[in-house]
Amino acid sequence: MDKLHYRSRYSLTKLMIWFVIFVLCFYAFKLSACYFSSENSRRILRSGTNWDSLVTLSAKPRDPNNGFSVLVTGAAGFVGSHVSLALKKRGDGVVGIDNFNKYYDPSLKRARTDMLERAGIFVVEADINDSELLERLLSVVQFSHVMHLAAQAGVRYAMKNPASYVHSNLAGLINILEACKSANPQPAVVWASSSSVYGLNSKVPFSEKDRTDQPASLYAATKKAGEEIAHSYNHIYGLSITGLRFFTVYGPWGRPDMAYFSFTKDILKRKKITIFKGPNNGYVARDFTYIDDIVSGCLAALDTAEKSTGSGGKKLGPAQLRVFNLGNTSPVPVTELVSILEKLLKMKARKDVLPMPSNGDVMFTHANISSAQRELGYKPTTELKVGLMKFVKWYLDYYVHSKKNIAW
């Protein structure tokens, strides 16, 4: 009887959680739709024939008979810029969209965008919650794929600005899926979930079959909710959807809020860095995955994505639905990361070792990539020492040798 009572209470609690998420999504979606019908968005849409031609040209693959046309959201971001360049380099057509928010220094996003533009990639400056703009983009170009990488990142920032996660990771995702399901033909969708969905799961390595109902942060909860939302759009509208759970991506042009980036900055400035220790004196460990390996996984997901089966918002048959881990399978303690950086920078770090705070971070991540290896041919090849060497070279060239100020 006690077990039955517990199960009923657990099921009721779970149902209430998902109901709250649904309500938040609904109101965020409605508010975003109202906000982004503003004068700013209308000004973009009124730019007319020239804007249409820029989008069309950028989306055109080198070989129209053997190439993709891909809309990349979050194109000015770390992963988004690398994926966009890789797609363009191999001959695919690419159009980017990014809102250049101020979560970290927008000048870094502008610099990435300069690279994209030199490669012939047009980046639309707009928010993914602008449904009118998305509808326009998908009417100007019949995109074969949407690579949805735009998101509010970061675990700890959710404690400062939780609404931004609802806005980008829930309402933004819904807006993208709404635009895709209404397009004719519907594009296949590949999107960035996160290893954070494994939350408090203690079974390692993390497998796609493991439970993901214990998120340790709001960020993780929005990504888990995103996977459930993706499932519903696949089921109802026939959208082909592939979710990718990234594991601690690092490398050149990375995000300043990540530990390897901020450690490098602080070591060079002779500032103290903070290293967290767990309850049993174990150090935080991460499955650090180099950007080039993540990009190869993203492109493989696009290449193996089946076509959506719907048309104009109506499902015509079952559609592909997948989730993959993209990691390196080699968790490394943060203390080892610091040691490598010290050798590369030829400077000793000043360290503060503190207990792990209750801010949503988890002690370790470790990816089981057998599914991605089997289905995508995914095979990470970059060791942490090699990847960090490439990052440090870029960092010194970009910030130190060029004497750029670091706003972060």
219, 237, 290, 395: the active-site residue: 219
How many Å apart are CA 387 and CA 254, to the nearest integer? 12
Query: Using omega within 30 degrees of 0 as the cis cutoff, is the peptide bond preceding 205 cis?
Result: yes
- Distances in Å between the alpha carbon of 24 and those of 170, 190, 215? 8, 24, 17
What angle, 0 to 180 degrees and rounded to 10, lies between the N-to-C axes of helices 172-182 and 2-35? 70
Residue type, 262: S
- Distances in Å between the alpha carbon of 97 and those of 32, 69, 150, 174? 17, 14, 9, 16
Name the H helices within 60-207.
78-90, 106-118, 131-140, 162-165, 172-182
219 a catalytic residue: yes
How many Å apart are CA 64 and CA 3, to the nearest integer? 61
How many Å apart are CA 19 and CA 151, to the nearest integer? 22
- Burial of 6 from C-beta contacts in 10 A (0-12 / 13-18 / 19+): exposed
How many Å apart are CA 208 and CA 322, to the nearest integer? 10
Q: Reduce the DSSP state of residue 282 to 3 states and report it.
A: coil
DSSP E strands, 291-349:
310-311, 314-315, 321-326, 332-333
Task: Output the furthest CA–CA distance in the chain (Å, rounded).
Answer: 70
Q: Catalogue the active-site residues.
A: 219
